Structure 1
Amino acid sequence: MDLYKETAHRPIPLPPNNWIMRQSWRNALFLHWPVHPNQLQPLLPSSVVIDTYEGSAWIGIVAFWMKGIYFRGIPFLSVIPPFAEMNVRTYVRYNGKPGVFFITLDVGDWASLNIAKKWYRLPYHTADVQIQQTGSVISYTNARKYEPVFFEGSCTPASEVFFPKEGTLDHFLTEKYCFYTTKNKQDLYHGDIHHQPWPLQKAEIEIGKNTLLSTLNIRADERPIAHFSKGVDSLMWNVKKL
């Protein structure tokens, strides 16, 4: 598979064992706010270190359309119908290895909520997440069930496609090749991922409602840095306990 062979852009080596599934992510929206590391520390286990860019920590809302999930050996048959997902994340290091730390993930897909939540130890919440496109405008909505948590916003891609250069903020916010998650802020879990560099576009955004961060006691008053991507395919490895 060409996706597996192209690795020069990775900041960390590929894992030695085999990947287990391929995922197709489409119409991805990245929103990021700078925050003081002290705002994030209560949400993280003590085993990870907050990763910063020029002294600032970052909190992100990332939404995308999961077009398909394909297990290794079954490359053309998705095990799920397409669905939308929205997550809140930040960036950390464990023993020097940078990655995404997932704080919450909102999704309405049954398999994610009942299988992936236990398999990958990810903090999924039941929600109605929708992504719709009208012309060049892409709208993103999220209404979490059982909690007063909402997001309503839209983006319009506003630049030519570019690939983030190493050392830039664009690269820091998007080019991550593993994730971390925890159970009760004690046990730490880790999963490797691989994909080609994100083909990014700067985006003009409108946010009508956003309580995803305020429920975490995080203030994000500034206008976020916004990126849009038509998407990438990714390879996923099994999660492991650290």
Structure 2
Amino acid sequence: MAIFLKANWENIIMANYVIDPKILGPFLPAGVELDLYNGKCYISLVGFMFKDAKLFNVPIPFFGSFEEVNLRFYVKRTDEEGLTRRGVVFINETIPYPIVAWMANKLYNEHYTVVPTKHKVVVENETKKVQFNWLLNNKWNSIGLEATVESLLMEQSSLERFIYEHYYGYTKINEHETEEYKLQHPSWKVSEVLDYVVDCDFEEMYGQSFAILNHTKPEAVFIADGSAVAIEWKRNKLN
């Protein structure tokens, strides 16, 4: 299978909110349904480092490493063999480089936008502090945390495993068409989160539909070490 994109994803922070499924209805692609965990519907604000990117195994000079912030929710579908494919739908993906956003939107029909970003990682003894920032309307938004340096495999059937282990992406082309693509990466290790901060204007960033998140506390915040990630070129058409 041809690989479109390779990169290293590092320090993947997930702030996870329970959300009314009705809010996600207009964003749900054709051919998939919401994937729930213990009867709850989740949406996640994500921050991570996207490093050493390659397109068709060719390095991207000057623009191969950057911060990404996105908002995503969880879906599933049953394939032709009766197997369940669990994946994510992105409301928006934010990066600092216009050329990279243009390529992703053009080639993949994604929803990338461009704003200034920065990050900071500080490791002290047995703990680490990781923070991602993005500039919106002259205000720096942020997602950050303090966690243990030690990381462990995720427990079976845990919320962490549910959040991190969705290996398909689904893009809504229009009301009747969806594109499905596959991600490749090993199961990640996660660290214990000791403290966190989320300072995000969800309404300004993602639209009025998500204004409620401005007044909602995350049910859980996680951080995974990350790894090399590959995205397959092939895209399936669903309707």
How does the TM-score come out when normalised to structure 2?
0.82
Q: For residues 7-59 of structure 1, give each alpha carbon's deviation from its aligned partner in whole angstroms, at most 9, with x where no partner exists.
A: xxxxxxxxxx3333321111211111112212221222343201001110100
Match of 1:90, SS state, is strand
Residue type matched to 2:230 in 1? L
**Residue 15 of structure 2 corresponds to residue 31 of structure 1:** yes
1:116-127 matches, cutoff 5 A: 116-127=104-115
Distance in structure 2 (CA, Å) of the matches to 1:86 and 1:47: 26
Q: How many residues align?
A: 222
Name whichever of 27-36 and 129-138 sits farther off.
Answer: 129-138
**Residue 127 of structure 2 corresponds to residue 152 of structure 1:** no
Distance in structure 2 (CA, Å) of the matches to 1:35 and 1:73: 38
**Residue 189 of structure 2 corresponds to residue 203 of structure 1:** no
1:188-199 matches, cutoff 5 A: 188-199=178-189
Q: For residues 36-83 of structure 1, give each alpha carbon's deviation from its aligned partner in whole angstroms, at most 9, with x where no partner exists.
A: 212221222343201001110100011111111124455xx4453311
Residue type matched to 2:73 in 1? T
Residue type matched to 1:108 in 2? P
Identity of aligned residues (%): 19
Distance in structure 1 (CA, Å) of the matches to 2:2 and 2:232: 7
The alpha-carbon distance between structure 1 residues 148 and 191, as it changes in their structure 2 partners (threshold 3 A), is farther
The alpha-carbon distance between structure 1 residues 87 and 238, as it changes in their structure 2 partners (threshold 3 A), is same
Residue type matched to 2:164 in 1? T
Find the counterpart in structure 2 of residue 141 from structure 1.
133
Cα pair 1:23 1:69 within 8 Å, conserved: yes
Distance in structure 2 (CA, Å) of the matches to 1:148 and 1:186: 38
Match of 2:64, SS state, is coil
Distance in structure 1 (CA, Å) of the matches to 2:198 and 2:160: 24
- State the shift of 1:208 in Å: 5.4
Find the counterpart in structure 2 of residue 11 from structure 1.
none
Residue type matched to 2:171 in 1? T
Find the counterpart in structure 1 of residue 70 from structure 2.
87
How does the TM-score come out when normalised to structure 1?
0.82
Cα pair 1:33 1:223 within 8 Å, conserved: yes
Q: What is the alpha-carbon root mean square deviation over aligned residues?
A: 2.3
Match of 1:162, SS state, is strand
Distance in structure 2 (CA, Å) of the matches to 1:149 and 1:34: 26
Match of 1:161, SS state, is strand
Distance in structure 2 (CA, Å) of the matches to 1:23 and 1:159: 22
Cα pair 1:153 1:205 within 8 Å, conserved: no
Match of 2:2, SS state, is coil
Distance in structure 1 (CA, Å) of the matches to 2:117 and 2:174: 25
Name whichever of 65-74 and 31-40 sits farther off.
Answer: 65-74
Cα pair 1:189 1:239 within 8 Å, conserved: no
Find the counterpart in structure 1 of residue 221 from structure 2.
226
The alpha-carbon distance between structure 1 residues 32 and 119, as it changes in their structure 2 partners (threshold 3 A), is same
The alpha-carbon distance between structure 1 residues 42 and 130, as it changes in their structure 2 partners (threshold 3 A), is same
Distance in structure 1 (CA, Å) of the matches to 2:57 and 2:17: 39
Structure having the larger proportion of residues in strand: 2
Structure 2: runs of 5 or more not aligned: 79-83
Cα pair 1:204 1:226 within 8 Å, conserved: no
The alpha-carbon distance between structure 1 residues 195 and 222, as it changes in their structure 2 partners (threshold 3 A), is same
Distance in structure 2 (CA, Å) of the matches to 1:224 and 1:151: 20
